[in-house]
Amino acid sequence: MNYEIAKKLLKEYNQEHLLQFYDELSEINKQKLLNQIEQIDFSLLTELEKQKNSKRGTFKPVDAVTLGEIEKNKREYVSLGINAIKSQKVGAVLLAGGQGTRLGFSHPKGMYNIGVNRNLYIFECLFNNLKDIVFLTKAYVPLFIMTSESNDKETRTFLKAHDYFGYNPDYVHFFIQEMAPVIDENSKILLSEKDKIAMSPNGNGGWFSSMQRAGLLDKIQEMGILWLNVFAVDNVLQRIADPCFIGATILSGCSAGGKVVAKAAPDERVGVLCLENDRPSIVEYYEMTEEMRTRREPDGRLSYNYGVILNYLFRVDTLIQTLKETMPLHMAHKIVPYIDENGNCVTPSEPNAYKFETLVLDMIRLQENCLSFEVDREREFAPVKNATGTDSVDTARELLEKNGVSL
């Protein structure tokens, strides 16, 4: 792309300021900036405008398979799940492309050392949990790790240096998610340097299309994998490829399953699995009306009771069908350092920018049906989002210890 074409393109999207420092740049850096402009999908800006008017449908509560029901059928579920794992029909996908800004750790979140008297990295907790399944099934689960351009190299180097915490590296595959430009409060794309556009990972919703772009879909099909268990990097109690969950989802005949926990309080800030226009969906806490938040069933349970914990099981053939769908765009309000109009680098202390993200939870809306599978939050949900306070290093440590993990 040359300067004139770039200028015309930017004018069309009202982003001409990106060339503000062009004349000051060396020839190499001029080309670098033009190449970057060429790579950017500016249609995101117009897509966002289009989606502003889209409305949510009619919500209804949905029942989960409860802890009590699961206990009764556990043997059958577990045996079905173990068979699926042994016959290599299940793969796991670790979403590790996020930037973990709330934690304030400048490396991939999985590298965070949550140990107290010994080293215990978040990645290590996850591999340990996955190794429990290897022990139980005598089979390795293929693990696909999604990174972003910002953390791919560091993640790979770290895991290799730690011998994948004892996991068989032949079963570990990496792929990189896409990036999207970051905009300010006036919808102007930010520069991170005079010759560089501020970019951030485009959310966790594109994981399957990124896998496809990386050529891994062919691999999955060659391997005969029928189910993918997708999970977040930051829940240190995450049960991965849980045979009971897999067995229950297969037996239910649903094309997807989601692990959920009973809400601790009506105003807990979690997305709730429910029905939207009679299809499975997740309603975010901020989208719920007061009536929805507080409504109760005759037995006293909250009607919208089951919060998702970012652990889903998807059927690969259904995922392939969803590849052609456009995912809704979400805007995450974050702190992003930038170059101001005078060429100075500014590091704000409050969120100043919006990142474009698609979210894995929106993939649930693309499913015909989804099993809501209750788990015990004390045993399976210890997210590390913040350095202190709610969902923090402190709360995760406490829960790890409660579950017999020495720190």
Distance, in Å, from the CA atom of 361 to the CA atom of 367, rounded to the nearest integer, reads 11
Closest listed residue to residue 285, CA positions, set 299, 265, 300: 265
Radius of gyration of the chain (CA): 22
Is 308 one of the binding residues for ligand UTP (CB under 6 A)? Answer: no
Q: Which is nearer to ligand UTP, 124 or 234 (CB)?
A: 234
Among the listed residues 184, 215, 177, the one whose alpha carbon sits nearest the alpha carbon of residue 198: 184
In the bound state with ligand UTP, the residue whose beta carbon lies nearer, of 61 and 203, is 203
Residue 32 engages ligand UTP in binding (rule: CB under 6 A): no
Binding of ligand UTP by 101 (CB under 6 A): yes
**CB neighbours (10 Å) of residue 371?**
24
| Position 100 contacts ligand UTP (CB under 6 A) | yes
What are the structure tokens assigned to 353, written together?
A: 């920018």
Amino acid at 314: F
Q: State the nearest-atom distance from the C-beta of 318 to ligand UTP, in Å.
A: 21
CA angle 23, 24, 30 (to 5 degrees): 70
Q: Which of 81, 201, 247, 280 binds ligand UTP (CB under 6 A)?
A: 201
Residues 6+ away with beta carbon under 8 Å from 278? 60
Q: What are phi and psi for residue 20, nearest 5 degrees?
A: -60, -35
> Which of 61, 81, 91, 98 is the binder for ligand UTP (CB under 6 A)?
98
Stretch that binds ligand UTP, among 90-98, 112-120, 217-225, 298-306 (CB under 6 A): 90-98
What are the counts of helices (DSSP H) followed by strands (DSSP E) for the chain?
13, 18
Find the binding residues for ligand UTP in span 126-165 (CB under 6 A). Answer: 146
CB 308 → ligand UTP: shortest distance, Å? 11
Burial class (CB within 10 angstroms; exposed 0-12, middle 13-18, buried 19+) of 343: exposed
Q: Which stretch binds ligand UTP (CB under 6 A): 40-48, 89-97, 120-128, 311-319?
A: 89-97
Sort 140 into a burial class: Cβ within 10 Å, 0-12 / 13-18 / 19+.
middle
Q: Is 223 helix (H, G, I), strand (E, B) or coil?
A: helix
Nearer of residues 203 and 258 to ligand UTP, judged by Cβ: 203
Work out which of 7, 32, 74, 102 binds ligand UTP, going by CB under 6 A.
102
Q: Does 255 bind ligand UTP (CB under 6 A)?
A: no
- Residue 146 beta carbon to ligand UTP: minimum distance, rounded to whole angstroms: 5
If one asks whether residue 95 binds ligand UTP (CB under 6 A), the answer comes out as yes
Residues 310-349, one symbol each (x = binds ligand UTP by CB under 6 A, - = not), give x---------------------------------------
Closest alpha carbon to 4 in 26, 22, 25, 27: 22
In the complex with ligand UTP, the residue whose CB is nearer, 21 or 207, is 207
Closer residue to ligand UTP (CB): 29 or 101: 101
> Which of 124, 152, 195, 234 is in the footprint of ligand UTP by CB under 6 A?
234
Report which secondary-structure segment, H or E, holds 170. none
Query: For ligand UTP, which is the closer residue by CB, 146 or 182?
Result: 146
What's the CA angle centered on 256, arms 253 and 257, to 5 degrees?
100
Q: Is 233 in the site for ligand UTP (CB under 6 A)?
A: yes
In the bound state with ligand UTP, the residue whose beta carbon lies nearer, of 84 and 319, is: 319
Distance CA 24, CA 194 (A): 9
CA dist 217 and 112 (Å) reads 30
Give 157 or 289: the residue with its C-beta nearer to ligand UTP. 157
Residues of this chain that interact with ligand UTP (CB under 6 A) are 95-103, 109, 146, 177, 201-204, 232-234, 310, 385
